[in-house]
Amino acid sequence: MPVSLLPKANEVSIFSDASDVGAGGFIQNSTHVMYKSWTNLEKVRSSTWREVKAIELCLVSFAHLVCNSSVVVYTDNQNAVSVIEKGSKILKLQNLTLSIFHTCIVNCISINVKWIPREENEKADYLSRIVDIDDWGTSDDFFEFVDNLWGPHSIDRFANMVNRKLLRFNFLYWNPGSESIDSFTCNWHDENNWLVPPVTLAAKVINHLIKCRAVGTLIVPKWSSSPFWPLLFEEGLQYKPYVEDVFECFEANRIFVAGHNVNSIFAEGDFKGTVLAVRLNALDM
């Protein structure tokens, strides 16, 4: 039987909302947050579909936290409440409703969906409007090539439910299937870590891997002026002791894959620089 990770309570409150750009939600009186950017296909779905989908995403993402609980989901969309309570003749909406109840049955959740005015749902509304500026990833072909070389990798540390390369993944927010949030709170030891972080976090990634005495593959642009550079190379480009190997990739357009943020430097093939795949091993550090 699933075991709830939250303190025992008679009732758990989840607030959910959807916007034109994404879905967001949170568990009241906790730090647990769900967020997902809409795909292009999801963006053109009806507002009711997006609101019901946001509720489904919240329940699936939080199921391991609220199992064996009575859950009240608050939404500011009255149509969403009606669809979940009564079902729908529209197949896409009915399928979402069935998915919600399947999640509840499997995780022993009693669900009640309630409408609230928009002004009482401001936090969920804010979360649904987040723009993930680092929503990009690597191509499947590139991952397969590197995985054959230095794998098998066991967990994708910086990914969401759409661009993950492995079944196990971490994201900054809860997503369906995410193993944990904020990979820097995790111990990376005993894992072969696939590391494609926002470039601004690359130095922190290297330091955390060393701290965990872990191994992994880091994908970064070849930017010698970046803070992470002296953590990989000595003067004269000699490898640091924990750098096992490096190879340069000159066709960035075949490596980086756009996410939903079209303004990202890696979004539309505008990045023309060299990419480094760095094999790190800090087991003996």
For 194-223, how does the pLDDT look when each residue is reduced to its tens digit (9 = 90+)?
999 999 999 999 999 999 999 999 999 999
- The tens digit of pLDDT for each residue in 117-141 reads 999 999 999 999 998 877 888 999 9
Instruction: Tell whether the model's pLDDT for residue 8 goes beyond 70.
Output: no
Q: Are 161 and 176 in contact (CB under 8 A)?
A: yes
Which ranges in the chain are annotated with CATH 3.40.50? 136-281
What per-residue confidence (pLDDT) applies to 262? 66
What is the average pLDDT value for the chain, to the nearest integer?
Answer: 92
- The tens digit of pLDDT for each residue in 87-110 reads 999 999 999 999 999 999 999 999
For the segment 64-87, the average pLDDT, to the nearest whole number, is 96
The matching CATH number, chosen from 3.40.140, 3.40.50, 3.30.530, 3.30.450, for 136-281 is: 3.40.50
- The tens digit of pLDDT for each residue in 153-174 reads 999 999 999 999 999 999 999 9
The matching CATH number, chosen from 3.40.640.10, 3.40.50.300, 3.30.420.10, 2.60.120.380, for 12-128 is: 3.30.420.10
What per-residue confidence (pLDDT) applies to 18? 98
What per-residue confidence (pLDDT) applies to 264? 67
Q: Is 176 helix (H, G, I), strand (E, B) or coil?
A: coil
How confident is residue 258, by pLDDT bands cut at 50, 70 and 90? confident
Per DSSP (E only), the strands in 170-259 are 170-171, 180-181, 192-195, 215-221, 243-249, 256-258
Strands 170-171 and 136-138: unpaired
Ordered DSSP codes for 178-194 = -SEE-GGGS--TTSEEE
For the segment 2-31, the average pLDDT, to the nearest whole number, is 83
Which ranges in the chain are annotated with CATH 3.30.420.10? 12-128
What per-residue confidence (pLDDT) applies to 21? 92
